[in-house]
Amino acid sequence: MPLSFGEQLRLERKKQGLTTEKLAKSCGVSRSYITLIENGRRSPGKKILPKLAAALEVKTAIVLNWYLEEVSQKIREALDVA
């Protein structure tokens, strides 16, 4: 099973040597919001995706791809259940 958006975010954040606090500050959000995203309890809003990419120094397309992969997975799971 592919990694969730939050898992991808956590891996990249740690790879960059950033704390949740530093990432949150760079994005203009709270540390708890970043934690909720990483733990899969919240989905990122469309305005934060480019901010996350900039803070992680990756292309916005990469972060958007993580998001779209997770959405696609959820749709596939919903269709399998129905």
Range of the domain at 12: 5-81
DSSP letter string, the chain: -PPPHHHHHHHHHHHTT--HHHHHHHHTS-HHHHHHHHTTSSPPPTTHHHHHHHHHTS-HHHHHHHHHHHHHHHHHHHHHH-
The domain that holds 72 is classified in CATH as 1.10.260.40
User: pLDDT by residue for the chain (82 residues), tens digit each?
Assistant: 789 999 999 999 999 999 999 999 999 999 999 999 999 999 999 999 999 999 999 999 999 999 999 999 999 999 987 6
Q: What is the pTM of this model?
A: 0.92
